[in-house]
Chains A and B, each alone.
Chain A
Amino acid sequence: RKEVEQDPGPFNVPEGATVAFNCTYSNSASQSFFWYRQDCRKEPKLLMSVYSSGNEDGRFTAQLNRASQYISLLIRDSKLSDSATYLCVVNERGMRFGAGTRLTVKP
């Protein structure tokens, strides 16, 4: 089993749609969790940290379920500029990345 698994994607959605990404991790001792965004041929950049109580940053909402070892990212009112690959990341001494889910938002 991979350390971090994500929805395979790709997701192709129209502008304004709501889209949700899911992620599971294998190490129950993992302590910190993140969503990173990676544009084509660019380095990953932090989108948001994920907290146990759930957290929101504008149109983005992240949730963590430690019992199920499950992380989610919800994007509301998607924009063309949201098109990117979204990486689920679990920190256990070194960051463990999922393979990423590609999102394309179309006009």
Chain B
Amino acid sequence: DTGVSQNPRHKITKRGQNVTFRCDPISEHNRLYWYRQTLGQGPEFLTYFQNEAQLEKSRLLSDRFSAERPKGSFSTLEIQRTEQGDSAMYLCASSLGGGDRQYFGAGTRLSVL
């Protein structure tokens, strides 16, 4: 399967714990994006990378959130001290270039109890 892969698919955690999600983009894609989606809403942009450089971060990305793409391939999104409001689907997407279509992974569903 050469699509975008996200792990884990589901994560249940207790409030205050740290969680980390991983995204493996399509191998030749330079751009990698993170989004968050809650029920009844469209995906909300969080951040994106051009290779290993993080080029933009949304206001939604508080200090508790950090994303990395150390070698320009896979990316991780970490949430520290999780809150119930962090419960959502976290989607990763990749594209060849900036104006190109994005391919989405199946997402990681986070539930904070």
B105 and A43 contact, CB distance less than 8 A: yes
- A10-48 Cβ-contact flags toward B at 8 Å (1 or 0): 000000000000000000000110100000001111100
Q: How large is the interface on B (under 10, 10 to 19, 20 to 34, 35 or more residues)?
A: 20 to 34
Q: How far is the CB of A55 from chain B (nearest CB, A)?
A: 14
Rounded to whole angstroms, the CA-CA distance of A99 and B93 in the bound complex is: 18
Contact partners of B47 in chain A: CB under 8 A = 94
A-B contact count (CB 8 A): 50
Q: In this complex, what residue of A is CB-closest to B45?
A: A94
Q: How far is the CB of A95 from chain B (nearest CB, A)?
A: 6
Contact partners of A44 in chain B: CB under 8 A = 43, 91, 104
A32 and B99 contact, CB distance less than 8 A: yes
B93 and A95 contact, CB distance less than 8 A: yes
Residue among B35, B42, B91, B107 having the largest count of chain A Cβ atoms under 10 Å? B42
Say whether B33 faces chain A, with CB atoms less than 8 Å apart: yes
Say whether A64 faces chain B, with CB atoms less than 8 Å apart: no
Q: Please provide the chain B residues from 86 to 105 with a CB less than 8 Å away from any CB of chain A in the complex.
A: 91, 93, 98-99, 101-105
Say whether B62 faces chain A, with CB atoms less than 8 Å apart: no
Rounded to whole angstroms, the CA-CA distance of A49 and B48 in the bound complex is: 21
- A62-106 Cβ-contact flags toward B at 8 Å (1 or 0): 000000000000000000000000010001011111111000000
Q: How far is the CB of A97 from chain B (nearest CB, A)?
A: 3
Rounded to whole angstroms, the CA-CA distance of A4 and B104 in the bound complex is: 20
Residues of B within 8 A of A (CB): 33, 35, 40-45, 47-48, 55-56, 58, 91, 93, 98-99, 101-107
Other CB < 8 Å A-B pairs besides A46-B101, A46-B103, A97-B42, 9 of them? A42-B106, A87-B43, A91-B98, A91-B99, A94-B33, A95-B43, A97-B45, A98-B42, A100-B42
Residues of A within 8 A of B (CB): 4, 31-32, 34, 42-46, 49, 87, 91, 93-100
